[in-house]
A = this chain, B = another copy of it.
Amino acid sequence: MAWANPSFLEIPESYLFGTIGRKIQEERERVPGKYIIRMGIGDVTLPLPPVVLAAMHRAVDEMGDAKTFQGYPPAAGFDFLREAIVAHDYRARGCDISVDEVFVSDGAKSDVANFTDLYGDANVIAISDPVYPVYLDSVRIAGFGPLQVKFMECTETSGFLPALPTGHVDILYLCSPNNPTGTAMTRDQLAQWVGYARANGALILYDSAYEAYVSTPGIPRSIYEIPGARECAVEFRSFSKTAGFTGVRCSYTVVPKGLTARTKFGHDVDLHKLWARRQATKFNGVPYIIQRAAEAVYTPEGQAAVKANIAVYMRNAGRIRALFESRGQKAFGGVDAPYVWVKVPDKYDSWSFFDHMLREYGVAGTPGSGFGPCGEGYIRFTGFGSLADVERLEGLMKA
């Protein structure tokens, strides 16, 4: 008799965005032909820049010639891409990260979820509430029960920032700029977390998938801008939101050498080696064509195109925030992140306001409660749609 992992029974059966997709489908069946403004899932809409397309066309041609054909990619990525990442994303910002500390992957979601493979059973894990649901779901799938997971409440009164844990914690998930609240930690705030982790031997998993959206001067893009972070933090980055790669699939994770965790036998083991082993054993690398696409993002044309696309999304986010504020609703984010976190009117909860907005205006957000209990009473909208859709919503809601 094969035995199933019982943890799957403890997490919601449907992934949040699956439920939203179903509700949109139902609304379309209720009102055939209804136009839906998609501001729910954080998916980009602008096409890839010409310099990225050209790089992929070249790489496709190389795959058609025996002399330039590429077989298995290196499990951690081609050096041409890892070198571009280190030069532009770390050395240029004064961060001491080496090429072999960068692991190229198919998605920050995969990496952040698969990192649980490295965890021993004894860990106590702290996760913000509300936050991107994959942290909690993957930790639960890995078998960590309710007593081993502590939630760090992020409320309006604390600016949606988690407070340092009071009790014992071994592993901490931080996401800044934050999904879903749109807040971003300052250098001083992030330095407090690095100090806490170092003092307690805790490990920080730092998700900075939205770093390219930071506009406020002084807000760190990488945790490695904070002295000492190499000794306590892993960083997850993605090209999905930075370069419009949600359908291209490329990301990377930085695991500094010398970062360790302890086994129950008292050994300190190097997490860099463990992650290298995990990726070599359970992953076969990112397609050559895709890695060439990611490399092209770092060209001057690529950087200019990416910045222009981000400006479009951020203008959308700013207008969405202003739209709700003009109706007297409190709204947050949309400055250093493409997410706008809107307080729902008193008579609604997150899902009923979601339903109301979908029926009344045909707009799909993401109910805040889907990101954790403290998200109840909020709804998230993203700036990733088109300006035309933002204008359409403005017209409908102001009518």
Contact = CB atoms under 8 A, between A and B. Distances in A.
Given A61-B53, A281-B15, A262 B120 contact: no
Interface in A340-382: none
A162 to B, nearest CB: 18
Contacts of A57: 57, 60
Contact of A47 (B64, B117, B121, B285): B64
Given A57-B57, A119-B4, A138 B281 contact: yes
Interface string A1-16: 1111110110101010
Given A114-B282, A264-B3, A277 B15 contact: yes
Tallying the copies of this chain within the complex gives: 2
A46 B66 contact: yes
A269 to B, nearest CB: 5
B119 A282 contact: no
A47 B71 contact: no
A278 interface: yes
Contacts of A134: 281-282
B66 A109 contact: no
Contact of A63 (B48, B64, B170, B282): B48
A47 B69 CA distance: 6
A99 interface: no
A73 interface: yes
Given A60-B56, A71-B45, A2 B248 contact: no
A123 B289 contact: no
A202 B4 contact: no
B6 A120 contact: yes
A69 B45 contact: yes
A203 to B, nearest CB: 4
Interface string A149-193: 000000000000000000000110000000000000000000000
A3 B122 contact: yes
Contacts of A118: 4-5, 8
A64 B45 contact: no
A308 interface: no
A61 B66 CA distance: 24
Contacts of A5: 117-120, 263, 274
16 contacts: A3-B264, A4-B274, A6-B267, A8-B118, A8-B278, A9-B267, A45-B66, A46-B66, A63-B247, A73-B249, A106-B106, A107-B284, A109-B282, A110-B284, A249-B284, A289-B289
Given A4-B261, A5-B119, A9-B265, 18 more contacts: A1-B201, A1-B262, A2-B262, A3-B119, A3-B264, A4-B118, A4-B262, A4-B263, A9-B263, A47-B69, A57-B60, A106-B284, A113-B281, A113-B282, A114-B282, A134-B282, A249-B287, A290-B290
The 9 closest A-B pairs by CB, nearest first: A3-B120, A2-B203, A4-B261, A113-B282, A43-B71, A1-B201, A70-B247, A2-B261, A6-B263
